[in-house]
Structure 1
Amino acid sequence: MNGEPLILRADADGIATLTLNRPDKRNAVNRDLFRQFRDHVRAIETDDAIGLVVITGAGAHFCAGHDLKSPPHADALGWLRQEMLILETLTKLRQPVIAKVRGSCYTGGLEFALSADFIVCGESARFADTHGKWGLVPGWGMSQRLPRRVGQAKALEMMLTCRPYSGAEAAAMGLANACVPDDELDAKVAELAALILGNSRHSNAENKRLVYETDGMALSTGLGHELMRNAGFDPAMRKKGEPIAAARKPG
């Protein structure tokens, strides 16, 4: 593989931005791109300097999905499992993850975005699951993450019609957290990032962990899990929390 990296990483102010970098292919994912993405995600897992991750695409598009012109892997199922596990690792990062979407966010690209905690898009964004157009079924989490994001009926509508949805439609159905004019997208993501990074990284990570760990649990089970698996105060902010702890003690 020659030329420019297929994933660009830029770090600033505690934010790691990973950019899918095949703009001439609308950032379609091939194995080389995915290997580089995997390496960056694994590096971020242990990078204490990073408090938040932004995933985006170079040029006018987020990601057109899997590159169907790529030759199949010799162990197709094994490689698919590796890809799925890396997207699950992205979701499970202690750092919050924002997908910043312009243009196409189709099929595998949508599965990439759904692996993030937040999706913020521009008005140019178009979201679609086109597995059905190619006689394919999901392998990167579409059938699991999309219904959890938008509800079963809307997910089935997207999956069975294969039609594209605008950024405004995505925000209305809860797929995207926000949709703004494209020229305001960077500022909107920066605003959300600043709000998140203004809070305790410990709290952010533990809140995220508890939400994902209890997904699908009955309320009584989830409440018990929250109590018994509670990580307590952020040690770095213990003094700030001492008045609260004192107020809770019996008089």
Structure 2
Amino acid sequence: MSLGSGKNAFGEHVTVQAGGHVAVITIDKPPHNHVSVDLMRDLADALDTIDGEVDLRCSVLQSEGKNFCAGADLVNRESAGGLGAVNPLYDQAVRLFSAKKPVVAAVQGAAVGAGLGLAVMADFRIASPDAKFAANFVKLGFHPGFGLTYTLPRLIGRTKAELMCLTGRRVKAEEGLPWGLVDEVVPLEDLRAAALRLATEIAENAPLAIVSTRKTMRGDLAAAVRAQTDIEAVEQGWLRDTADYKEGVRSVAERRVGNFVGS
């Protein structure tokens, strides 16, 4: 698919608008932009297409609605893909990390679970004051996924990553700013313009040099995420069969503290 200067659809919930040297990728999957294998595949297809467009040098990743991405849909969990040793959702996540060109995420509302993984996949995160980032897996009686046990410590350091992953607490945008979890906090009404401004600043530079420099600085990130998601999926596989996981799903859905028993 050639992007040109118009709006292009990638599946049901992803569109790309190309303007100048920047592509704007928009997720629109009401009500909370929950992850699914199809959504991640469509995003990866969009990034692959952008990589093939010589005129495009950087992308903005944004979402419609109240939340950037609220993670997996606990009501319809199968839509998120299998959680065994072979996980099609994580296959698509690795494709996202394999993209060649920089991505600036515009984050409002919740970036939770796999939604946090998606935000961390981007090179930069511009956030509105209402943005909240959470690795809430332990509250579900579950193990982190989407490569977060590799990418989050790499971004904010091991101690703060452990703090997020072992407490499941929500980190507000202003708190995440000095951590490096967020690069800029702007009013909600300015969020998309600020993300586009940063992407445009990047895209003003020489395209081959942008790709080359990013490749050097990110190193073998996609391969590392692949190896880590394989480990994460194994841990998720056995935890999914526990009573604590079933209780965790219930307790989160009911907005209460889980009554965990260690089995």
Structure 1 residues 89 and 108: alpha-carbon distance in aligned structure 2, compared to 1, 3 A threshold? same
Q: What amino acid sits opposite 1:125 in the alignment?
A: A
Match of 2:143 among 137, 140, 146: 137
Q: Which moved more, 1:7-16 or 1:124-133?
A: 7-16
Match of 1:8 among 15, 21, 24: 15
1:103 aligns with 2:114: no
The residue that corresponds to 1:204 in the other structure is: 210
Partners of 1:35 and 1:93 lie apart in 2 by 13
Match of 2:66 among 60, 78, 99: 60
Q: What amino acid sits opposite 2:134 in the alignment?
A: A
CA-CA distance at 1:175 after TM superposition: 0.5
Q: What amino acid sits opposite 1:208 in the alignment?
A: R
| Equivalences for residues 212-227 of structure 1 within 5 A | 212-213=218-219
- Helix, strand or coil for the counterpart of 2:78? coil
Q: What amino acid sits opposite 1:136 in the alignment?
A: F
CA-CA distance at 1:214 after TM superposition: 7.1
- Helix, strand or coil for the counterpart of 2:127? strand
Q: What amino acid sits opposite 1:52 in the alignment?
A: C
Q: Residue 91 of structure 1 contacts residue 117 of structure 1 at CA under 8 Å; is this kept in 2?
A: no
1:91-129: CA deviations, max 9, x gaps?
A: 332211111101111110000011111111111101111
The residue that corresponds to 2:8 in the other structure is: none
Structure 1 residues 20 and 152: alpha-carbon distance in aligned structure 2, compared to 1, 3 A threshold? same
The residue that corresponds to 1:249 in the other structure is: none
Q: What amino acid sits opposite 2:24 in the alignment?
A: T
Q: Residue 98 of structure 1 contacts residue 116 of structure 1 at CA under 8 Å; is this kept in 2?
A: yes
Partners of 2:37 and 2:100 lie apart in 1 by 26
| Equivalences for residues 1-80 of structure 1 within 5 A | 5-24=12-31, 26-72=32-78, 76-77=83-84, 80=87
Q: Please report the TM-score for the alignment, with normalisation by the length of structure 1.
A: 0.77
Q: Which moved more, 1:45-54 or 1:200-209?
A: 45-54
1:155 aligns with 2:161: yes
The residue that corresponds to 1:220 in the other structure is: none
Q: What amino acid sits opposite 2:155 in the alignment?
A: R
Structure 2 residues not aligned, in runs of 5+: 1-10, 222-263
CA-CA distance at 1:204 after TM superposition: 1.0
CA-CA distance at 1:190 after TM superposition: 2.2
Q: Residue 51 of structure 2 contacts residue 100 of structure 2 at CA under 8 Å; is this kept in 1?
A: yes
Q: Residue 40 of structure 2 contacts residue 93 of structure 2 at CA under 8 Å; is this kept in 1?
A: no
Superposed CA RMSD in Å reads: 2.1
CA-CA distance at 1:31 after TM superposition: 3.0
Task: Answer 1 or 2: higher relative contact order, Cα 8 Å, separation at least 6.
Answer: 2
Q: Please report the TM-score for the alignment, with normalisation by the length of structure 2.
A: 0.73
Residue identity over aligned pairs, in percent, reads: 28
Structure 1 residues 170 and 85: alpha-carbon distance in aligned structure 2, compared to 1, 3 A threshold? same
| Equivalences for residues 162-173 of structure 1 within 5 A | 162-173=168-179
- Helix, strand or coil for the counterpart of 2:177? helix
Q: Residue 100 of structure 1 contacts residue 121 of structure 1 at CA under 8 Å; is this kept in 2?
A: yes
- Helix, strand or coil for the counterpart of 1:77? coil
1:54-96: CA deviations, max 9, x gaps?
A: 111111210000122335378643662x433433332332211
Q: Residue 34 of structure 2 contacts residue 69 of structure 2 at CA under 8 Å; is this kept in 1?
A: yes
Question: Computing the radius of gyration over CA atoms, which structure comes out larger, 1 or 2?
Answer: 1
Q: Which moved more, 1:11-20 or 1:116-125?
A: 11-20
Q: What amino acid sits opposite 2:71 in the alignment?
A: G
Partners of 1:208 and 1:92 lie apart in 2 by 11
Partners of 2:86 and 2:59 lie apart in 1 by 25
Runs of 4+ deviating beyond 6 Å: none
The residue that corresponds to 2:193 in the other structure is: 187
Q: Residue 65 of structure 1 contacts residue 106 of structure 1 at CA under 8 Å; is this kept in 2?
A: yes
Q: Which moved more, 1:122-131 or 1:28-37?
A: 28-37
Partners of 1:47 and 1:105 lie apart in 2 by 29
